[in-house]
Amino acid sequence: LPPLLAPPLPPGYPPQMLFSLLLLLVQPSPAASPAAPPACVPGTIKLGGQGPRVLAAPHGDFDAATGRIVDLACGTLKWACVVARGQRSKAHPVNVNRPTEGYGRKSEEERRTSCAEEVYAAWSTAVGSFSPKLYVEVHGNVRKELAGRLDVALVGVKEEDAKRLKKLLEGEREKHGLSWLEVRVEGLDAVKMKAGASKKWGELGKRAPALHFEFPRRAREEPERTARYLAAVLAAFSAD
């Protein structure tokens, strides 16, 4: 590697400023470090924070406001966060958190493509860089039958912890103006959004314990409110 060449300092700057500038050159900022972007589609994967608890939005802009919710909640929780934006569209429905493409399809109907594999590899590397002990994904849907409901899918979560999670989700609703939101948790209730494809061959299949939140559109219309709700629930759920 070629040596770092420091720029000349303006007149009047103390010599120790040179050392400070060199530190800024060689030290990455953990607050907003982008992962290497795949070449086959546009988009970014932003990493922030630190620690073994990871909050993530694989479809940060496609699932409207989920990236914003994760960014805000991470700021409160001081967790690690990973947010992908720009890779997924209806024309090119890369799934990001698994090596397939498909929009509105059953898991067995999704197509495995080289582009999807490339994007997923970048996503999985970004998540894995934090060695997560708890992995949480935030998604959104526009299904009419789920317009007033939050579905939570689980991986490797004990029944007593699932019950505790549901109690927290229900208990925090009114405090955050979400009393209208029905809460269903996999294993305790009938859940539509089970994240089956990601469990089979994606990131949820690698991480345990893991939570997968599917927020309806109405909850995402005020991302600040939903971020505060989610942060309160996760802080209590993950407390040692």
- Residue 6 predicted with pLDDT over 50: no
Write the CA distances from 23 to 16, 108, 190, 202, integer angstroms.
11, 49, 53, 37
Sequence-distant (≥ 6) Cβ neighbours of residue 82 within 8 angstroms: 35, 45, 46, 47, 48, 54, 55, 56, 57, 123, 126, 127, 130
- For residue 149, name the pLDDT band (cuts at 50, 70, 90): very high
- Return the pLDDT at 107: 73
- Tell me how crowded residue 9 is: count the other CB atoms within 10 A of its CB: 12
Average pLDDT over residues 18-43: 49
Choice among 23-32, 128-137, 150-159 with the minimum mean pLDDT = 23-32
- Residue 240 predicted with pLDDT over 70: no
- Return the pLDDT at 63: 97
Q: For residue range 156-196, what is the model confidence (pLDDT) as tens digits?
A: 999 999 999 999 999 999 999 999 999 999 999 999 999 99
- Residue 198 predicted with pLDDT over 60: yes
| Exposed/middle/buried for residue 37 (C-beta within 10 Å: 0-12, 13-18, 19+) | middle
- Residue 29 predicted with pLDDT over 90: no
- Residue 17 predicted with pLDDT over 60: no
Count Cα atoms within 13 angstroms, Cβ side, for 222: 9
